[in-house]
Structure 1
């Protein structure tokens, strides 16, 4: 019984840390000029932490049909309370990258005329103020 309580406490702490990180990431992105469209967007493929509109860093062949200089950005937020086991962005493994690519592709029908990219925001809450790093185009298709 004590183990179950401990696991529930750990899950609660992890969820609280994640929510705090997503709040920080949202504020950070808005200050950089991003427009937040949705948070915790869930579908049958998984969850997108933050979906926003931001600057388009690359022009594609289809740029003629795309809204100039604005992209739909899928943001994965990784929040850690220390660097003992690496940075938050290092937690985006190959499985998570594949999942993010599927999620991004699923948005193409909703945003057919937009460039869609995947960014990672890594947050370390151990420092004050929290250290926030933004990795644009962090996940790309090979």
Structure 2
């Protein structure tokens, strides 16, 4: 049973990340990459804003609000996101960056998204 729960959670995460990437693309962002592994961790989605800003997106996919979604991104997670982003950016030309959290709620076949932009602004 634990194995199927893991598999279900993995599939939910992948679906949510794909939905979030498509959402950003629909707004005119360019998808750069997704599910990027670094030494520090994983970056769910990387997109380029039409203004050139590189946006690192942490996607939280949930079947309901009972376990929290966006609020699950703690100060520790933000530090990890910054380290992953720095590693990914190391060999790339300078660009402005932003950190977003995308909350994807899944109900059956329906998905809804709420995006919290620039969550790193003022974070410790």
TM-score by length of 1: 0.79
CA distance in structure 2 between the aligned counterparts of 1:99 and 1:10, rounded to whole angstroms: 25
Report the equivalent of 1:76.
Answer: 58
Secondary structure, counterpart of 1:70 in structure 2: coil
Number of equivalenced pairs? 123
Q: Report the alpha carbon displacement of residue 70 of structure 1 after superposing the two structures with TM.
A: 1.2
Q: Report the alpha carbon displacement of residue 20 of structure 1 after superposing the two structures with TM.
A: 0.7
Q: What are the ranges of 5 or more consecutive residues in structure 2 without an aligned counterpart?
A: none
Secondary structure, counterpart of 2:49 in structure 1: strand
Q: Report the alpha carbon displacement of residue 109 of structure 1 after superposing the two structures with TM.
A: 2.4
Structure 1 runs, 4 residues or longer, greater than 3 Å off: none
Report the equivalent of 1:63.
Answer: none
Question: Per-residue displacement from partner, 1:76-135 (whole Å, max 9, x unpaired)?
Answer: 10000001233x111111221110111122234233420011111101112774220111
Secondary structure, counterpart of 2:18 in structure 1: helix
1:25 paired with 2:25, answer no
Q: Report the alpha carbon displacement of residue 23 of structure 1 after superposing the two structures with TM.
A: 1.2
1:36 paired with 2:31, answer yes
Q: Report the alpha carbon displacement of residue 26 of structure 1 after superposing the two structures with TM.
A: 1.1
Secondary structure, counterpart of 1:114 in structure 2: coil
TM-score by length of 2: 0.89
Based on CA coordinates, which of the two structures has the bigger radius of gyration? Answer: 1
